[in-house]
Chain A
Amino acid sequence: AQSVSQHNHHVILSEAASLELGCNYSYGGTVNLFWYVQYPGQHLQLLLKYFSGDPLVKGIKGFEAEFIKSKFSFNLRKPSVQWSDTAEYFCAVTRDDYKLSFGAGTTVTVRA
């Protein structure tokens, strides 16, 4: 069973719509959480990461994510998407080691 689950396989929305991508993990104990983005034809880039402290994390390009420990979740949000946000989004987790475990990814298509 996959340890990092991303609920949505493909999300299609219009520009200016709000985006929320779900991510759940199944590890107990301390985790470190990441969201990476892969724009078409490009490499993976870090959007944001959470280690400790304020569970609401702000990243680049207007993205934010909220860590809810009781729900084992780290959902990614953006209030108003742009066409350029079309990409593949990956949630990833490390525990007490440094192996990044990725979710299966969510394809986001933003229609102009």
Chain B
Amino acid sequence: DTAVSQTPKYLVTQMGNDKSIKCEQNLGHDTMYWYKQDSKKFLKIMFSYNNKELIINETVPNRFSPKSPDKAHLNLHINSLELGDSAVYFCASSHPPRSRETQYFGPGTRLLVL
């Protein structure tokens, strides 16, 4: 009964490929997020959806496209993968976005682009 789950856990792929990462939460939260953690462990928010509506879209290449089919799922599709996309991608969820809400994180997807 994992609260926030991501698949796959590891992803190794070639430059130029298109790949997707999936995230699901069973906490009943309305809001989901994608974060990128770089090689220096710095975490930065990429996107957030609230009730399937995009509410945060940070400066991210348009090769990255989030999709939220329902409140419990937020997937991340990446087109034309580049070496610099190698990172750990974390999904998170929370109750409706307010500044004091705790975000609950998934285990991360380690993406390596060769």
> Which residues on A are within 8 Å of B, measured CB to CB?
32, 34, 36, 42-46, 49, 51, 88, 90, 94-100, 102, 104-105, 107
Instruction: Please state if B100 and A104 are interface contacts (CB–CB under 8 Å).
Output: no
Which residue of chain A lies nearest to B31 when distances are taken between CB atoms in the complex? Answer: A98
Determine the distance from Cα of A2 to Cα of B100 in the docked complex, in whole angstroms.
21
Instruction: Please state if B105 and A32 are interface contacts (CB–CB under 8 Å).
Output: no
Instruction: Please state if B56 and A42 are interface contacts (CB–CB under 8 Å).
Output: no
> Which residues on B are within 8 Å of A, measured CB to CB?
4, 31, 40-45, 48, 56, 90, 92, 94, 97-108
Instruction: Please state if B99 and A88 are interface contacts (CB–CB under 8 Å).
Output: no
Distance between B43 CB and nearest chain A CB, rounded to angstroms:
4
Instruction: Please state if A104 and B40 are interface contacts (CB–CB under 8 Å).
Output: yes
User: Which A residues are in CB contact (< 8 Å) with B103?
Assistant: 46, 100
User: Which B residues are in CB contact (< 8 Å) with A43?
Assistant: 4, 90, 105-108
Name 25 interchain pairs, CB-CB below 8 A, sorted by A. Answer: A32-B99, A43-B4, A43-B90, A43-B106, A43-B108, A44-B92, A44-B105, A49-B100, A88-B41, A94-B99, A95-B99, A96-B99, A97-B97, A97-B99, A98-B99, A99-B45, A99-B48, A99-B56, A100-B103, A102-B42, A102-B43, A104-B40, A104-B41, A104-B42, A105-B41
Indicate which residue in B48, B99, B105, B108 contacts A45 across the interface (CB closer than 8 Å). B105
